[in-house]
A and B are shown apart, each in its own frame.
Chain A
Amino acid sequence: MRRDQFLRLAAVVLAGALATSACGGAENTDSAKGDPSQPAKPQGAKIGLAYDIGGRGDQSFNDAAARGLDQAKTEFGATANELEASPGETEAQKEERLRLLATGGFNPVIAVGFAYSKPVAKVAQEFPNVKFALVDDEAAKGPNISNLLFAEHEGSFLVGAAAALKSKKNSIGFVGGVQVPLIAKFEAGFAAGAKHIKPDIKIQTKYLTQPPDFSGFNDPAKGKTAAEGMFDGGADVVYQAAGGSGGGVFTAAKAANAFAIGVDSDQALTADASVKDVIITSMLKKVDVAVYTFLKGFASNSVTAGSTIYDLKVGGVDYSVTGGKVDDIKAQLDELKQKIISGEIKVPDKTTG
């Protein structure tokens, strides 16, 4: 009896250690264990979700998708199986992940991240009766593929304007996680927004890593160093589009007594309590809403194939007001927002040069 207890304790301790070291890999045990081909619960859909590197627990992009999934799970009584990519894996492995979900009876299947583009295109063809959703990519087309896209540049334009309005030194910064076209969209919108307010504003830009090194999305120390450099160089507001590295940017802002702008989620709510007060606003990329809407559509049998663009107009991207730090400029920002929605302001989605 005592030995049993000891074993159980040891198991719990070690499992805990494994879970933390494995980046939350052991967290997704809430769905049915065992053979995936046997329905665990009679009611509701069996949702398959394939994350990009980082998976649930990255406090950023993947977590946003997880929030949408969780909401749908409780609301529609669905079960889910969540799988996660390994760093540096091949396309064949991504393909196999989706195929295993589809053959395991999971429907719909959601793939998070543009790296799933070709795998989704291929596997969706093999399983015409399974509905697929693909976040951040519209190159994969098919009658059973829903592409969920975001106008990140539009949301970034607004926080760029906010940064310019809030900057006293006429100098701001942008920290990107990895130098990929997707993050360049954030940068382009941010710079355009800032220059719209103050054409002569100084903008420092820094990407933490370059592909194929994707650690820039998950390295707070690098984020901190980059932001420190910007604050030392005269900036007083820094926008980060760096996923898990963003926490370091906030820490640096706190130390420099400056401001920071969050990304993807409302980070004035989700960030560490000690740095929440430096976050004046966040560029919201509502992956959760997109995933939830897709699942809701699936539940009511009204999923549409093809691209859905989550832009400012439909509230797919936005800026947050938590903390009240942008209340004084809210009117100006909302005016810009209306101008973008009406098409009066065209926001570039590519950086020049």
Chain B
Amino acid sequence: MISRFNVRSAALTLVAPVLAIVLAVGITTVVLLVSGDEPLETFGYMVDYGFQPRTMVLTLNLATTYYFSALAVAIGFRMNLFNIGVDGQYRLAALIAAAVGGAVTLPAPLHVTLTVLVAVLVGACWAGLAGLLKATRGVSEVISTIMLNVIATGLGAWLLHTDRLAVAVSGSNNIGTKPIGPSGQVPGLHLIAGTEVKVYGFVVVAALAGIGFHFMLNSTRFGFDLRATGRSESAAVASGVNVKKMIVGTMVLSGAVAGLVGMPQLLGASYSYSLDFPTGLGFTGIAIALLGRNNPLGIAFGALLWSFLTNSASILDVHQISKEIVIIMQGVIVLSVVVAYELVRRYRKSAEQRRVGQELAATAEPVKG
């Protein structure tokens, strides 16, 4: 009886994401039909392209970046803190880390460690500001992190100037920080056969961060306090949790992970922070955290799916199908996930009520058994 129930419970956990994807595919099909493109053909192109070895590497690489971002957001979410500032945190962190990494030459492991450490520190400090404001002055972190994003943009633009952290690339209209030397670069890995392109070495760090997140949440005092505060602040206070300390701590941790967002790109591909450094990753992270239900494994799947969709936009463009279809799909998936989980939750609740009712009825009539 109990094992059967567990199987059903596990199946129910899977139902929600599957339902969400089915919904998303359904709605996208309608949009494609309406815009006059052949849905089957379109999905065919996407899948075809998505499973080429080259594309698989690109998907994995982009997903690594997304993963850090979503993890940073999820840490906050677990405590009911909405860190919208991941975007500003990672941009500022990447810029300053790039400048430091480009300015020094050290033995390889030290060089990389130093750069990453700077990024983590900058991210943590920038997010910590929002945490402090909330803990001491009661400022909503939603407002303060949005504002800190804008300040990060201004500060970044000021720093990325040839008088300060940037150098001009000769013959180019681009400017960037001094390129990080070979000792500071993280080599790629040959994980997927059939292509020359390498997977970012940071994929390992991402996996470790995910495991660390799981361990932190489930096996440490900090993680317990974090979850408790997220569930009910008053209950947490009653059981002796220092909520103010938790707010600052959680924001700092969230920001520290946000500092890692730019690292795969910086240390694995561009080696410099220039005008065309990718932006907006922090907002993508919010969507993926929602998609993965703030669970490290769920986020991994979410990041891979999101990255696959983003990359497949290129092939749609080549086939003259509006690549905005992909953005519609991503949006619909997030919405469907929210809806699907709510449906499953309600179903679970009523199933539970029925089961308890049945069991009670069974114990009330012992004579028949």
By a beta-carbon cutoff of 8 Å, the part of chain A in contact with chain B is 10-11, 14-15, 18, 22, 25-26, 28-29, 31, 33-36, 81, 83-84, 86-93, 96-97, 100-101, 104, 114-115, 117-118, 136-139, 147, 179-182, 210-213, 307
Q: How far is the CB of A262 from chain B (nearest CB, A)?
A: 21
The answer to whether A212 and B91 touch (CB under 8 A), given A26-B322, A114-B174, is: yes
Q: When the two chains form their complex, are residues B276 and A29 in contact, meaning their CB atoms are under 8 A apart?
A: no
Given contacts A90-B265, A210-B153, contact A36 B62 (CB under 8 A): no
A91 to B280, Cβ gap below 8 A?
no
> Can you list, as one digit per residue, whether each of B1-45 has a CB less than 8 Å from chain A (1) or not (0)?
000000000000000000000000000000001111000000000
Which residues of chain A come closer than 8 Å to B157, judged between CB atoms?
A: 179, 210-211
Question: B309 within 8 Å of A by Cβ?
Answer: no
Asked whether B265 lies within 8 Å of A139 as measured between CB atoms, the reply is no
B281 at the interface (CB under 8 A from A): yes
Asked if B170 is at the interface of the complex by the 8 Å CB criterion, the answer is: yes
The answer for the CA separation of A124 and B365 in the assembled complex, in Å, is: 81
* Contacting residues, chain A, for B170 (C-beta < 8 A): 139
Distance between Cα atoms of A96 and B314 in the complex (Å): 8
Contact of B322 among A22, A97, A100 (CB under 8 A): A22
Chain B residues lying within 8 Å of A26, measured Cβ to Cβ, are 35, 322
Task: Say yes or no for B169: interface residue by CB 8 A criterion.
Answer: yes
B194 at the interface (CB under 8 A from A): no
Whether B34 contacts A90 by the Cβ 8 Å rule is no
Chain B residues in 8 Å Cβ range of A25? 322-324
Taking the complex as formed, is B320 at the interface, i.e. its CB lies under 8 A from any CB of chain A? yes
Chain A residues with CB under 8 Å of B91's CB are 212
**Interface check B58, CB cutoff 8 A:** yes
Q: How far is the CB of A187 from chain B (nearest CB, A)?
A: 14
A-B contact pairs, 13 of them (CB 8 A): A10-B34, A11-B33, A15-B36, A25-B322, A34-B319, A87-B280, A96-B58, A96-B311, A137-B172, A138-B172, A179-B157, A211-B156, A211-B275
Residue ID in chain B nearest A115 by CB atoms:
B276
> Does B270 lie at the interface of the complex (its beta carbon under 8 Å from any beta carbon of A)?
yes
Shortest B194–chain A CB gap in Å is 15
B320–A28 CB distance below 8 A: yes
B278 touching A137 by the CB < 8 A rule?
no
Extra contacts besides A104-B318, A210-B158 (5): CB < 8 Å: A25-B323, A31-B320, A96-B311, A115-B276, A139-B171
Q: Complex formed: what's the CA distance from A147 to B323 in Å?
A: 28
Total chain B interface residues with beta-carbon distance under 8 A: 46
CA distance A114 to B172 in the complex (A): 7
CA distance A118 to B275 in the complex (A): 13
- Is the beta-carbon distance between B278 and A89 smaller than 8 angstroms? yes
Complex Cα distance, B172 from A147, in Å, reads 10
- Interface residue from A15, A97, A181 paired with B168 (Cβ < 8 Å): A181
Contact of B269 among A89, A91, A101 (CB under 8 A): A91
Residue pair A90, B269 in contact (C-beta under 8 Å): yes
Q: Which residue of A lies closest to B166 (CB)?
A: A181
Nearest residue, chain B, Cβ from A141: B171
Give Cα A211 to B62, complex, Å: 22
A117:B174 contact, CB within 8 angstroms: yes
Of B34, B174, B280, B319, which is within 8 A of A15 by CB?
A: B34
Give the Cβ gap from B257 to chain A, nearest Cβ, in Å. Answer: 20
Asked if residues B324 and A22 are in contact (CB atoms below 8 Å), the reply is: yes
Instruction: Kindly state whether residue B219 has any CB partner on chain A within 8 Å.
Output: no
A212 near B153 (CB under 8 angstroms)? yes
User: Closest CB-CB distance, B175 to chain A, in whole Å?
Assistant: 6
Q: Which of B263-321 contact A (CB under 8 A)?
A: 265, 269-270, 275-281, 310-311, 313-315, 317-320
Most chain A CB atoms below 10 A, which of B33, B34, B169, B323: B34
Give the CA-CA distance A100 to B312 in the complex, in Å. 11
Contact across chains for A93 and B322 when beta carbons are under 8 A apart = no
Q: Which of B157, B175, B277, B318 has the most CB of A within 10 A?
A: B318
CA distance A181 to B169 in the complex (A): 11
Q: How far is the CA of A34 from the CA of B319 in the complex (A)?
A: 6
Contacts of A139 on B, CB cut-off 8 Å?
Answer: 169-172, 174
B239 close to A (CB within 8 Å) = no
Residue of B nearest to A212 (CB): B279
Bound Cα distance from A110 to B86, whole angstroms: 35
Instruction: Report the minimal beta-carbon distance from B127 to chain A, rounded to whole angstroms.
Output: 19
Residues of A within 8 A of B310 (CB): 93
B324 touches A18 (CB 8 A): yes
Interface check B226, CB cutoff 8 A? no
Point out which of A36, A90, A96, A118 has the most chain B C-beta atoms below 10 A from its C-beta.
A90
B35 touches A15 (CB 8 A): yes
Residues from chain B with Cβ under 8 Å of A114 in the complex = 172-174
Please indicate the chain A residues that have their CB under 8 angstroms from the CB of B132 in the complex.
none
A15 to B318 alpha-carbon distance, docked (Å): 19
Q: Check A136–B173 contact: CB distance below 8 A.
A: yes
List 10 A-B pairs, minimum CB-CB distance, nearest first.
A210-B157, A139-B172, A138-B171, A88-B280, A88-B279, A182-B173, A114-B173, A115-B276, A139-B171, A212-B279
A93 touches B314 (CB 8 A): yes
B62, B174, B281: which contacts A92 (Cβ < 8 A)?
B62
- Tell whether, in the assembled complex, residue B278 and residue A88 are in contact, meaning their CB atoms are under 8 Å apart: yes
Contact with A along B166-186 (1 / 0, CB 8 A): 001111111100000000000
Whether A92 pairs with B275 at a CB distance below 8 angstroms is no
CB-defined contacts of A212 to chain B, threshold 8 Å: 91, 153, 156, 275, 277, 279
Interface residue? B84 (CB, 8 A): no
State whether A29 and B34 are in contact (beta carbons under 8 Å apart), knowing that A86-B313, A100-B314, A211-B160 are contacts in the complex.
no
Tell me the chain B residues, 39-71 only, with Cβ under 8 Å from chain A: 58, 61-62, 65
Complex alpha-carbon distance, A97 and B315, angstroms: 8
Complex CA distance for A180 and B162, rounded to whole angstroms: 11
* Selected contact of B318 from candidates A88, A100, A181, A307, CB within 8 Å: A100
C-beta contact mask, B141-163 vs A, less than 8 Å → 1, else 0? 00000000000011011101010
Residue of A nearest to B277 (CB): A212
A30 and chain B: residue at smallest CB distance: B320
Q: CB-CB < 8 A to A89: which residues of B?
A: 278
Q: Which residues of A contact B175 (CB under 8 A)?
A: 180-181
Complex alpha-carbon distance, A87 and B157, angstroms? 17
